[in-house]
Chain A
Amino acid sequence: ETGVTQSPTHLIKTRGQQVTLRCSSQSGHNTVSWYQQALGQGPQFIFQYYREEENGRGNFPPRFSGLQFPNYSSELNVNALELDDSALYLCASSLQGLPEQFFGPGTRLTVL
């Protein structure tokens, strides 16, 4: 069984740029959730994808967007990066209808 993987591991961008983060879900899982974790804080829910559609969203602006592909992998896109977007971005996979979520190692994004 393959766990959740994310790429890249680290990323440095400048303010105003755009970034794409990638996630491959655990085998057998069909739902992907994205979270933002600022330093010293707990993860904050961004959104969830199921059947290639957004299935719930947290309190994040529209410049945070995502995609899910037929193989259940997912992308998180952030436009017009701001300094406060610097954080660890976590992807979690699950089976729709079940609450257990399993996290990947995260992508550390630094915005300068």
Chain B
Amino acid sequence: GESVGLHLPTLSVQEGDNSIINCAYSNSASDYFIWYKQESGKGPQFIIDIRSNMDKRQGQRVTVLLNKTVKHLSLQIAATQPGDSAVYFCAENGSGGSNYKLTFGKGTLLTVNP
């Protein structure tokens, strides 16, 4: 079945350091992946996405890496700031007719210490 999971439930970093949040997925047919940031009391906020025909995509201070061989996804945040503190979810949007839903993992809580 489909599942998306995260390796680490919590991550604590110092302000200015780089953060890496990891995610494993099990559906080898997945063709699209998204990272969301969710602050307390708010809905998930779109950060960056990547399609399965790519292995890297960069945004502003964020980079997503996709390793299809081991079904692993990571989100790198450069120069982490206190405002980056939140729960981060990876989500997978399946293929083969089921591309209408996102399957989320449990999330990683990122805490940035000043």
Contacts and interface: CB of A to CB of B under 8 A. Distances in A.
Interface of A: 4, 6, 31, 33, 35, 40-45, 48, 55-56, 58, 90, 92, 99-106
15 contacts: A33-B101, A33-B102, A43-B89, A43-B104, A45-B101, A45-B103, A55-B100, A56-B101, A99-B34, A101-B34, A101-B46, A102-B46, A103-B36, A103-B43, A103-B45
Interface of B: 4, 32, 34, 36, 41-46, 49, 89, 91, 93, 98-107
A44 B98 CA distance: 14
Contacts of A102: 46
Contacts, number: 58
Given A41-B106, A99-B32, A100-B34, A90 B100 contact: no
Given A99-B32, A99-B93, A100-B34, A56 B100 contact: yes
Contacts of A58: 101
A6 B44 CA distance: 13
Contact of A42 (B42, B46, B99, B106): B106
B32, B91, B99, B102 pick with most chain A CB within 10 angstroms:
B102
A42 B45 CA distance: 13
Contact of A56 (B98, B104, B107): B98
Nearest to B9: A40
A31 B49 CA distance: 19
A55 B98 CA distance: 10
Contacts of B101: 33, 45, 48, 56, 58
